[in-house]
Structure 1
Amino acid sequence: MIIEKNNKTRAKSVPVDANAVEARARATESGETVDVAGTPAVEPGRQVEEALLIFKESLENSVDAIGMTTPDGHHYYQNRAFTELFGTVGHDPSSVYVDKKKADEVFQTIMPGGRWSGELKMYNKDRQVRDIFLRAYANKNDHGNITALVGIHTDITERKQAEEELRISENKFRSIAEKASDSIFIKDISRRYAFANPAMQELLDMPENEIVGKSADEIFGSEQGRIIREIDDKAFCGQSVNTARSLVIDGKEKFFSTSQIPLVDSNGAITSIMGIVRDITAIKQAEEALRENEERFRAIFNNAAVGMALTSLTGHILKVNQAFCMFLAYSPEELTDMHFSEVTHPGDFDIDARLYQELIEGVRTSYMLDKRYVRKDGKVVWGRLGFSLLRNTDGSPKYGVGTCEDITARKRAEKEIRHLNQTLEQQVAERTEIAEARARQLQALSVEMVEAEEHERQRIAQILHEDLQQILVGARFQAQSASRRANPDAVFAHIDRLLEEAIAVSRGLSQQLSPPVLHQFGLAAALEWLARENDEQFGLKVQLETHAPDVKDSSLKVFIFRAVQELLFNIVKHSGVKSANVILTAVDQHLVLTISDPGRGFDPEILNSPVKKGGLGLVSLRERVRAIGGDLVIDSAPGRGCRFTLTVPRSLSETTVPEAARPRSDEPQPMIFPSYAAVFDPNGIRVLFADDHQVLRQGLISMVKGQPDIVVVGEAADGEEALELTRQLNPRLVVMDISMPKMDGIEATRRIKEEMPDVRVIGLSMFDDENVARKMREAGAAAFVSKSESSTELLKTIYEVAGNRPDVARTESSPENTHKTS
């Protein structure tokens, strides 16, 4: 560097090498001339002096703080910058060092002739710590002796602070960029990417090392790269560019908003650009969905079948659809700007206003209310109002939206239904009262029935004890006395008369319980017998007339007979007269019985009274008649006698016939079976009985003992015993119970048929179950009989199974050839 002399202007401040300072000092002492760099010159002495003056002035004006110390540590020179920075150091130059060890390191390095340079901490004149860049060395003469220790100090505190701020700024930027959800990039002056944050890497699906150094053309293709370059050029021209456009990435169109700004250096020159890219695809889609929703809402609003209205927050109508106009008979123009109170019935305004206020205050999000409206023509109509608020993005209310369904017809129907419900409730209460009265009657009836049953038992017991048993005891005494007399004929004759009386009493009791005439000679004959019985027993004269064909239905015949019997007995008990009329006629598909008497009569309403203590027999009879599809009508009044009209259908279905009145057809009938046993065994059919109940086994054996061609060869109490006895006794047929201990009948049958296939087996069970029968047949049984069947059925099965020929035995267990009674 050339330093020019200027007497009036201060020389430019430059850093000065201490070697040059020392070289000039030596030249001055020897009278030589040197240049600024320390090279000897051929100038006269005056020029040397001027050069030294310029050099010293340069030292003084240098921005670097320069200080010199003798080898023994005496500080003897400092320039103006040194003084401004450190003040007057004094004799100890190490006092400005913050770190004394560092001071020792510097001096130990330069004393041998070395050089030291680096950053360290030093105190300024205000004892503030400053960052200093120090260049220190020892200056030597020609003889190699150290003449001075030179230190050039550059205050780098501001630079270090700037670097720290820059580092912090860069860290902040990188931290923000790395965590940002938006894509951030930097491009250098060549339009190539210099930085891409993680969001940018994710957007492009590329790592940063594949992005940095590439242009937009290389990443997006030439067509899209051209568009991106045009935007970059605007930013490099110093503009802040904001754009929104679509790009195709991985074959999918996406929408982005981009902001780009230029980055400049300290001189204001643009060195790069930074861009922030935000993926607004979802926003675009939401905007499109919002637009479609708005169009859809508009279509629904205008075409809805229910009334709809938009209102301001003050309750004024802003917009209505056609359905709402038709509901209130106003035009859209007439309703616009009207307050909702103007169309609300006064009786419903307060509750509507309260709910609306709660909606505005946020107490509720919506409400629904059935309210009355006043039409333009003054007519009151009902509407179901549903109301809510449309809100801004910040949650504040914007509009009110309401729907209104015309429910006038519904309200009218509800009113009618309430009226009907009240009527129905009244009727239900009345029917409940009747039902409760009927329940009390039935309860009393059940007690009376128990008492009547007990009374009948006592009557029958009295007949047996007072009549039949007394006669039999008397006959026994007569028989005992006859054995002691020489001529017992008279006694035996008396015994014979007593036995005849006993037979008559038992026959009378039997006829009362079930008259044979009823089953043998028909209803008319039975009614005639009943009339005679009432005359003989109670002195009641019954005038009987029958004008109907005989009843073929046995259940109906029994039912009518018992009904007439009850009604005649009722006359005997309550009428107070000794005469009655019974008339039987046929009308269409019904039989009509009229039973009347001229007695004292009664009020029929007492039959429905909850406090009634009598007449329960008539209530029971009426209920039974109605149960079979008939009716009992009672015509009576106090002092006017009674007329009972009983109407029943001509025939009854099985479901309406009382169980006790149904005729039984399962009574055993005597049968003569052909003897097949002689074909196979001249001594009869050899039978083995197997059952775990001894009483039942004995009953079975007693049943067949009267049959001359059946021989009982043994009896077993379980399956194992049955198998063993079959092996020993070789019976022709085994009657096998299924449920037995040790071995059941199914397993025993299977074992018998495996060992002795010619032996026939008949399954016997208390349960009439097809599955049990099937398993028994699968085991080899020839037949299956339920224990509930008659004894004749079992005898018949024994004869049939034993009579099968050996050549057809292979098919005897098939369902079509197996006899099963159930």
Structure 2
Amino acid sequence: MAAPVNESDGMPEILRVLIVEDEESDAELAARELRRAGFQPVWNRVETEEAFLEHLGRSYDVILSDNRLPQFSAAQALSHVRALGSDIPFVVVSAAIGEEQAVALLRAGAADYLMKDRLSRLGEAIRHALEQKRLREQAQAAQDALRRLNEELERRIAERTVELEQANRSLAHELAERRRIEHVLRQSEAELERRVARRTSELKQSQERLRSLASELTLTEERERRRLAGELHDYLAQLLVLGRIKLQQIHQQISDQRAAAALKEVDQIFHDSLDYTRSVMAELAPPMLQEFGLASALCWLAERMRTHGLTVEVITQAVMPKPVEDHTVLLFQSVRELLFNVVKHAGTSQATVTVGCTPKGELEVTVEDRGCGFDPASVAMGHAGGQLKQFGLFSVRERMEAMGGCMMIESTPGCGSRIVLRVPCDPPEQAPDGAANRAAAHDDAGESKVPVIPLGQRPARVLLVDDHAMVREGLRRVLEHYDDLTVVGEAADGWEALEAMRSVRPDVVVMDVNMPRLDGIAATTRIKQEMPNMAVIGLSVVNTESMQEAMRAAGAAAFVSKECAASELYQAIQTALSPPACNGGARNGVTEPDR
């Protein structure tokens, strides 16, 4: 049964809302959030299919729907909206929804989906959906105007044809009139050519604007994905890591078997949540692309494609030009789309991605397969591969041309396909002066206030480096339980770590990898240049093999996942401070868990 209409006064923007929700309190919360976002909601609530269909014929600006009601669902409501041909923005607001179901709703036409415990983004999502609707209406209006112009042009051409036929009949009888008509025809042709040239120019400009818009939309989507991945890494993942550290500390102090078993179950929940968070972060913004560039990201993508039944070989040159940052994102997205095209249409389980440099200094990426192939001319004309494949190749071509590059297609039915992407690159950077880039040398005797006492006769001095204060505090509490260790300082980024290292002279630095300003990899490189015998332990939420190899290459003695810090960090420090590590032969393996 519909709730009474809420008519609040004084709000700057009236918003007519149909809420599909079986809990009136949740509907009230949504309306309250809309008021906070600057809207004046005028809303009705329904919870059955009959009531929804009754209200669907009325005028609403947006529909908010719970994912699942006792007798109804968001999917059913969305199907009714689309069956009527309505373009009303449809936003799913749910307490719990699976990723696959959310993607299915978005593909079915939903504008967005939100979790009920994240309603602070509701106003932004509504504005975005309304803006998208407005843009679609403008685009439709532009298409209608273009159609009317074409019809008018055809009508004028038809009328002109009639005039010409009448003129030809007159020319048979009057030679003098023929000269006059020929003059009129020349003028008409000139005018027509001028109009065609003007229209051609307008169409080219429109095409360039659409191409630029498509590229910007892709970049905007990627920036938003990076922002979301950053939020997950900087907050949710760190909280989960800290929770695991504290649980492991509590577990060491509890002797009751039932309590210990319960804590172990909770720890497993934290572990699974952290794995899922890492997976979502990787899907939103592959860390390889941000941290190590296009080649590493393509290797990561090749591993991911195995889950779709496609084995991808990645071949890269030893030295490659560096593309513009935005170009890197678009290239990665384009290669991913081409590989999914191979999965869907090529009928093969193998593909090759080659990354290299052209003689002109352009970056060249080639995606090749030995599948069923296709006719490039037929695809260009819209007769092969289906609409999705045509749109994918068209989208990739538009991206390349917007970047000043190009896409070339080589394919023959039955003989596989070879698609080449080329983009210009930045000019090579001038190698910086080594003295300017290297940390200034410091006089150990003049700056260090630490008494020179052999390591075996005093506790080992530890410097904690992490941009999250909560994690530093958790690590400090872990290490405080050991009498042979003492935490002598903390730093929130790589630059602070360098300063702290010079002032407190630690024996070992526990270094987070992902940090602002100067990350852990660069900071470790600088530390090892300045103090080769300094032991560094890498630490990160993202514990991929590439991340571990990068820290080892920078000089780290070991790498420990943050979630295992409570059980593994102490042993890693002891191993790093063993005589082989102190004599410059640091062990570059990942510390095995001390269970």
Q: So what's the TM-score if we normalise by structure 2?
A: 0.31
Q: So what's the TM-score if we normalise by structure 1?
A: 0.23
Higher strand share: 1
Bigger RCO of structures 1 and 2 (CA < 8 A, at least 6 apart): 2
